[in-house]
Amino acid sequence: MSVRAAVMPGPGMPLEIREFPDPTPEEGEVILDTLASEVCGTDVHLWHGRLDGVPYPIIPGHVSVGRIRELRGVEADVLGRPLAPGDPVTFLDVHGTCHRCFHCQVASQPNRCPSRRVYGITFPLDDGLLGGWSQAIRLLAGVQILKLPESVPADRLIGGGCGLFTGFAAVERSDLRMGATVLVQGTGPVGLSAVAFARLRGAGQILAIGDPDARLALARRFGADVTLSLAATTREERRERILALTDGRGVDVAIEAAGQPSAVEEGLALLRDGGSYVVAGHYTDTGSATLNPHTLLNRKHVALRGQWGTDLRHLVGALRMLERHGDALPFEEVIGGRYGLDRVQEALEDVEALRVTKAVVVPEDG
């Protein structure tokens, strides 16, 4: 028996399908049969070599859902729920935070731990099946596993992918108050998630800026009251519209999920005095923005925060919300294409061209 996986040999090089020996778990490990793994903007950036320190060749695929094939010395998930072969699970893609360093122990921000490794991004191929674009995934000892509740279909989780957790984290970090007006810039998976969680957190009005039309329709489906097309409006028109919707004051909270430097300046300018702004969409370096610190930060009395990656608590929280409020989080509708391993190249190209909002790799399909 062998396992097929998609390998990204290096930046710009075509993906390859390779065969690997069937994995067997070491003590403390779990082997998953992959049900689905996401393709997100990060994978496109990986393919173009835009992330630092990636040890190509790699097996991409950071957020994944699988069924337990075999476990050794692992009896429960992180919430203490018993695990058995056949159970559908997901896991925190971040592994190996050290619990000893300054960031882990003093600053309480393990997302900045230098020992941190990420499935599908920072594990070299020689380390094994540590990415989701593979028929099987090896969960190393200590990987934080979460069993999917029966009421949460795999598609609902993977249709959001990492954006589901990032949007959750961004809304949490914004300190959004009930009844507040929120602007979400960007209508990809992170933006859609931010819209949905802003609604569940009790936003009074949700505005979203993005493109293309299909994504704006999804934003409305997820709870946006007003959507504005980036391409069909000028910046001045967007400003007039948003000021009109906020009694001339601007929004209470803005969440950047666009990944465009210019969005930061525009978003800050659309914030009311004393509002809060979260930058969540810049996972890669897309360049600089210029802004006037006097008018946009100091005089405005703005709370400006960044959100880097996600922690286990964001997964636990988001999964609980999917369980309790699944109808308000229909991420399965975001899936625009399912791709067998043979078509991962096409999946990357479709995501890059915005032909699909969320592409999903289903390794059993090819």
Name the residue nearer to Zn ion (CB basis): 183 or 196: 196
Asked if residue 144 binds Zn ion (CB under 5 A), the reply is no
**Cα gap 160→358, rounded to integer Å:** 8
Gyration radius (Cα) of the chain, Å = 20
The residue from 68, 137, 162, 335 that contacts Zn ion (CB under 5 A) is 162
Name the residue nearer to Zn ion (CB basis): 40 or 58: 40
Cβ 98 to Zn ion shortest distance, Å: 4
Asked if residue 42 binds Zn ion (CB under 5 A), the reply is yes
**Number of neighbours of residue 313 by Cβ within 10 angstroms:** 13
**Cα gap 189→295, rounded to integer Å:** 31
Binding mask 112-141 for Zn ion (x = CB under 5 A): -x----------------------------
Q: Any idea how long the chain is? A: 366
Name the residue nearer to Zn ion (CB basis): 152 or 162: 162
Binding mask 164-183 for Zn ion (x = CB under 5 A): --------------------
Asked if residue 232 binds Zn ion (CB under 5 A), the reply is no
Asked if residue 98 binds Zn ion (CB under 5 A), the reply is yes
Joined tokens for residue 312: 């286990």
Cβ 161 to Zn ion shortest distance, Å: 5
Asked if residue 360 binds Zn ion (CB under 5 A), the reply is no
The residue from 8, 104, 146, 258 that contacts Zn ion (CB under 5 A) is 104
**Cα gap 27→365, rounded to integer Å:** 30
Q: Write the DSSP assignment of 77-119 as a string of letters.
A: -TTS-B--TT-EEEE-SEE---SSSIIIIIS--GGG-TT-EET
Stretch that binds Zn ion, among 33-41, 177-185, 252-260, 352-360 (CB under 5 A): 33-41
First to last CA, the chain: 16
Cβ 67 to Zn ion shortest distance, Å: 21
Count of residues in contact with Zn ion, rule CB under 5 A: 7
User: Buried (b) or exposed (e) across 9-36, using 16+ Cβ within 10 A?
Assistant: eeeeeebeebebeebebeeebbbbbbbb
Q: List residues binding Zn ion (CB under 5 A).
A: 40, 42, 98, 101, 104, 113, 162
